[in-house]
Amino acid sequence: MLMDQITSSDEQELGRKLFNCMSDLYPICRSITGKGVRDTLLRLNEVVPLTVHEIPSGTEVFDWKVPNEWNIRDAWIKDAQGNRVIDFQKSNLHVLNYSVPFHGRMSLSKLRNHLFALPEQPDCIPYRTSYYQENWGFCLSQNQLDELADGEYEVCIDSTLKPGFLTYGEVFVAGNSEDEILVSSHVCHPSLANDNLSGMVIAAYLARYLQTQPVRYSYRFLFIPATIGSITWLALNEEKVSKIKHGLVLACLGDSGYMTYKRSRQGNCLIDRAVIQVLKQQGDFEIFDFSPYGYDERQYCSPGFNLPVGRLSRTPHGRFPEYHTSADNLGFVSPEQLSGSLTTCLEIFDIIENDRTYLNQNPKCEPLLSKYDLYQTIGGSEEVPRFQMALLWVLNFSDSKFTLLDIAEKSGLKFQDIALAAEALRHHGLLKDLSD
């Protein structure tokens, strides 16, 4: 199984690599289009070779159009003395993402219409966007806002918004089957760490690892701008959609919270059950029902597609105060949490890869397991090894109606134990694999 070969020192090493990759990506000013995304994909390409797609502005994608491409060099607000009181060079969050070019002078009272702050978190710069309505603006901390004296300011946004491309990356790992597992992460947020550098670097390292493994399913990784990216991919790849049998949106996976999962719209498909099976073994966790608000699962689970795609996160969007503020920085995530999230994904894939249906070849009464060296010979003690219990569960429920995951759920035993027992029984001819 995928996880079998990963030692705990591998995990530590992996955590460091994930964090270092995030550190490299953190300063880049990303948006839903433009150079920031291109530079990001270039760095991820060092982790795993990915195909970069460039979709021209104006391309019609369902009810939407690919927008003009946005790029930015600089932005600032200068006071009467010419001091940069707000400076894009200090934090790319300071600019309202997708601001149109602007240069001018105005009074503070007029400027206020273009300023966004967070009174409840006076130290933090909020992250705000205006993709689909032309606008310009600055985001700043409430403390900064309070310090702005009345008077006139010079304002400059040195950006461009003009026909270009929407850029996204794709990695395809071919498996034995054409059936696919989709892994989607959004790459459009500027200097925010947990949301969603964490998701994209984990996805890249997952792809890198899966390329080295024999796998039953094919895996498709998408590195896309949120919303418009998944809409664009779905619109331009409709013929591929029916191959997607399971999927995960990865986001917010580096913070110190426990794992959470938002079910697919279908609600109880294999990906949902596999995630829950894994999280149950980890102690605290939380499962949310599907709702049509969130990340790209909104599009994958729109009624015209209704794909079996859920979302894996630690603390989900909007549940941590650092969300969409300058406090979601590299100090908010840790190598251990990142590697733990990655191995959680592998455990999930292990279930999907190995869930099979077997048929007990000796269905009337139990076989004499000690004959096959599968059972202790001294009877009478109530303590039965976990492996023997797993054998009994697999034998009893392998009547063609239950898969291994069903049996793990019924028994309360770990999927790995059940799969191991099934393999031992199959090896002795006591089970027949019905999945092939």
Cβ distance to a copy of itself smaller for residue 153 or 300: 300
Shortest approach of a copy of itself to residue 239 CB, angstroms? 13
User: Closest Cα partner for 125 from 80, 75, 159, 79?
Assistant: 75
Contact mark string toward a copy of itself, 374..413, x via CB under 8 A: ---xxxxxx-x----x--xx-xxxxx-----------x--
The Cα 140–Cα 87 span in angstroms is 10
Candidate ranges 152-160, 286-294, 335-343, 347-355; the one touching a copy of itself (CB under 8 A):
286-294
The Cα 190–Cα 128 span in angstroms is 11
Judged by DSSP in three states, 401 sits in strand
Candidate ranges 129-137, 198-206, 333-341, 420-428; the one touching a copy of itself (CB under 8 A):
129-137
Candidate ranges 1-9, 45-53, 74-82, 355-363; the one touching a copy of itself (CB under 8 A):
355-363
Which residue's structure tokens are 């104006």?
58
Candidate ranges 8-16, 21-29, 74-82, 289-297; the one touching a copy of itself (CB under 8 A):
289-297
How does strand 309-313 pair with strand 244-250?
parallel
Shortest approach of a copy of itself to residue 89 CB, angstroms? 21
What's the full length of the chain, in residues?
436
Q: Does 288 bind a copy of itself (CB under 8 A)?
A: no
Q: Does 113 bind a copy of itself (CB under 8 A)?
A: no
Which residue's structure tokens are 């191991």?
420
Shortest approach of a copy of itself to residue 139 CB, angstroms? 9
Shortest approach of a copy of itself to residue 241 CB, angstroms? 9
Shortest approach of a copy of itself to residue 44 CB, angstroms? 24
Q: Which of 20, 293, 434, 435 binds a copy of itself (CB under 8 A)?
A: 293
Q: Does 126 bind a copy of itself (CB under 8 A)?
A: yes
Q: Does 324 bind a copy of itself (CB under 8 A)?
A: yes
Contact mark string toward a copy of itself, 150..169, x via CB under 8 A: --------------------
Judged by DSSP in three states, 298 sits in helix
Q: Return the biggest CA–CA distance within the chain.
A: 92
Q: Does 143 bind a copy of itself (CB under 8 A)?
A: no
Cβ distance to a copy of itself smaller for residue 103 or 364: 364
Q: Which of 292, 433, 434, 435 binds a copy of itself (CB under 8 A)?
A: 292
Assess contact for 416 and 1: CB atoms under 8 A: yes
Interactions with a copy of itself, residue window 213-232 (CB under 8 A): 227, 230-231
Residue 337's H or E segment, with its range, is: helix 335-354
Cβ distance to a copy of itself smaller for residue 149 or 365: 365
Cβ distance to a copy of itself smaller for residue 272 or 353: 272
- Residue 327 CA to its chain's centroid (Å): 20
Q: Does 302 bind a copy of itself (CB under 8 A)?
A: yes
The Cα 395–Cα 392 span in angstroms is 5
Residue 374 — φ and ψ, nearest 5°? Answer: -110, 5
Shortest approach of a copy of itself to residue 159 CB, angstroms? 17
Q: Which of 59, 71, 135, 237 binds a copy of itself (CB under 8 A)?
A: 135
How does strand 152-162 pair with strand 69-78?
antiparallel
The residue type at 10:
D
- For 71, 105, 117, 251, the CA distances from 154, given in Å and listed in that order, are 21, 4, 19, 38
User: Closest Cα partner for 48 from 202, 182, 215?
Assistant: 202
For the record, the structure tokens of 404 come out as 């291994």
Q: Does 121 bind a copy of itself (CB under 8 A)?
A: no
Residue 186 — φ and ψ, nearest 5°? Answer: -90, 145
Cβ distance to a copy of itself smaller for residue 34 or 367: 367
Q: Does 363 bind a copy of itself (CB under 8 A)?
A: yes
- For a copy of itself (CB under 8 A), the number of binding residues is 63
- For 407, 419, 420, the CA distances from 413, given in Å and listed in that order, are 8, 10, 11
Q: Does 42 bind a copy of itself (CB under 8 A)?
A: no
Which residue's structure tokens are 């099934």?
422
- Residue 370 CA to its chain's centroid (Å): 46
Cβ distance to a copy of itself smaller for residue 4 or 289: 289
Shortest approach of a copy of itself to residue 299 CB, angstroms? 5
For the record, the structure tokens of 154 come out as 């010079």
- For residue 47, what are the contacts with CB-CB under 8 A and spacing of at least 6? 21, 201, 204, 205, 207, 208
Contact positions toward a copy of itself, by CB under 8 A? 61-64, 96-97, 116, 126-133, 135, 227, 230-231, 234-235, 265, 291-293, 298-299, 301-306, 317-318, 323-324, 360, 362-368, 370-371, 377-382, 384, 389, 392-393, 395-399, 411
